[in-house]
Amino acid sequence: MSNQPVDLNSRRQWLAAAAALGVAPWLLTASAAPAGASRAAADGPAPGARSAARRRLGPFEAFPIGLGCQWHPGRRPQAVNDLYASSTDRQAAVALIRRAVDLGVVLFDTAEVYGPFMSEEILGEALQGRRNGIVISTKFGFDIDPQTGARRGGTNSRPDHIRRVVEAQLRRLRTDRIDLLYQHRVDPQVPIEDVAGTIKDLVKQGKVLHWGLSEPGLQTIRRAHAVHPLAAIQNEYSMLWRGPEAHVLPLCEELGIGFVPWSPLGMGFLAGTISVDSRFGEQDFRASVPRFAPDNLPSNMPLVDLVRSWARRKNATPAQISLAWLTARKPWIVPIPGTTNMTHLEENVGAATIAFSAAELAELDTAISEIPIRGARLSPPVLAATGVEAPPKQ
Ligand SMILES: NC(=O)c1ccc[n+]([C@@H]2O[C@H](COP(=O)([O-])OP(=O)(O)OC[C@H]3O[C@@H](n4cnc5c(N)ncnc54)[C@H](OP(=O)(O)O)[C@@H]3O)[C@@H](O)[C@H]2O)c1
């Protein structure tokens, strides 16, 4: 963990200069950024990552593939389950994260609500003493009882709640700063200007370095960015769901905001783990997802066939093709595949070495576009919380 103090005065001047120019501050030259402005990068690269390809994600320099840590307790003691059908244990989850660090992974994604609390605790344990050069991203925004972890339903981005959540997150993550803090879902009760103002204060205090939004409305992105520059948007994006291409990615490009695709493997579909006969248990999130319903799977399987054929052609795996396609879209995209499995982790990291020529990419894009996907990407109540515009500031 770095105890380097952040020079808050020069940091403020740097932010003001960027605001006057109407650009994200990290678009100014690196030499214009004060020391400590991007402390994660200043700490130096993670071990093992020194020779690996790096890319910009907003203010960060990151390995092209991140790691999603979205876990909750299983029935057995120490059991760690994902949202789907995979399971591991706490010790193995810690080892997985440490292996990712050794392989050069920089961006680790989690959230207060994953567990709740458990995923942040595991990430904190795994990264203690291995913090340099790592970007920890986590999220606030659901209404969770801070003592019991009980979900009270709906969102909560009230400023006093955000401040309390961040204190608890710092303790669980065993760190003195959150590199990238997202609002998990837009709160329909709280103007985004109030959320951004709260984050700005936390940044001044050095507790948060940068912030982002997950699944926000377009105007909310602009309003949030105007108060305090956004480092990243985290939305679902993959060959299976290309929604962000219409408006969100162009807006990120315009404003200099990085983009983090969640469920980059289509919840395992694009890695080839779902067949036309797959049926999901009650505990498996995919049971409620229309595009994986028995009626829709037969229409959607041609996408898996396509990915498999490209995997053969490029001497890669379906998961690697799916991730490499995402990183080829824009140089400021860093997907965060989730896994509980060491072999899968190593395979996913290997996607960073796969490149497509412009002609290959055009051919693959066309082929993907020709496969219509049947069924919504999420169930109606989950979908209703996406693309929400925050209420106006009175
Ligand atoms: N902001 C948001 O609202 C939001 C929503 C959802 C997720 N997220 C973030 O995004 C991350 C990733 O999303 P996700 O986990 O939903 O979906 P995903 O990464 O698209 O898929 C994960 C699934 O793929 C399997 N898998 C991973 N690598 C594989 C490989 N190489 N070969 C075969 N199977 C493989 C995993 O099983 P194994 O464990 O067996 O590998 C798991 O079942 C999460 O961890 C979380 O951090 C954010």
What is the C-alpha separation between 187 and 155, in angstroms, rounded? 6
CB-ligand 1 contact for 267 (6 Å cutoff): yes
Mutate to test the pocket of ligand 1, among 107, 262, 303 (most ligand atoms within 8 A of CB): 262
- The residues assigned a catalytic role are 114
User: Is residue 364 within 8 Å of 325, Cβ to Cβ?
Assistant: yes
The pLDDT of residue 35 is 30
Q: pLDDT-based confidence at 53, cuts 50/70/90?
A: confident
Would you say residue 226 has pLDDT above 50?
yes
| The predicted structure's pLDDT at residue 23 | 62
Closest CA to 340 of 88, 100, 70: 88
Determine whether the shortest distance from the Cβ of 273 to ligand 1 is under 6 A. yes
Instruction: Measure 394 CA to ligand 1 centroid, in angstroms.
Output: 39
CA of 270 to the centre of ligand 1 (A): 10
Please indicate whether residue 82, judged by its CB atom, sits closer than 6 Å to ligand 1: yes
Measured from the Cα of 84, ligand 1's closest atom is 43
How distant, in Å, are the alpha carbons of 108, 112, 201, 259, 373 from that of 321? 21, 31, 41, 19, 19
User: In sequence order, what are the residues at sequence separation of 6 or more whose Cβ sits closer than 8 angstroms to the Cβ of residue 57?
Assistant: 107, 135, 231, 232, 258, 259, 260, 332, 333, 334
Over residues 158-171, mean pLDDT? 98
Q: Which residues contact 375 (CB under 8 A, 6 or more apart)?
A: 289, 290, 291, 292, 293, 295, 296, 300
Are 43 and 276 spatial neighbours (Cβ–Cβ below 8 Å)? no
Q: Is the CB of 86 under 6 A from ligand 1?
A: yes
Residue 280 pLDDT exceeds 70? yes
Determine the pLDDT at residue 30: 40
Does the C-beta of 284 come closer than 6 Å to ligand 1? Answer: no
pLDDT in tens, 294-328: 999 999 999 999 999 999 999 999 999 999 999 99
pLDDT for 111-152, tens place per residue? 999 999 999 999 999 999 999 999 999 999 999 999 999 999
Residue 27: pLDDT above 60? yes
Spacing, Cα 266 to ligand 1 middle (Å): 8
Considering only CA atoms, which residue is closest to atom 48 of ligand 1?
A: 262
Query: What pLDDT is recorded for position 263?
Result: 98
Ligand 1, residues 89, 273, 274, 307: which to mutate, most atoms within 8 A of Cβ?
A: 273
Question: In this model, does residue 29 exceed pLDDT 50?
Answer: no
Task: Provide the token pair at 173.
Answer: 């993550």
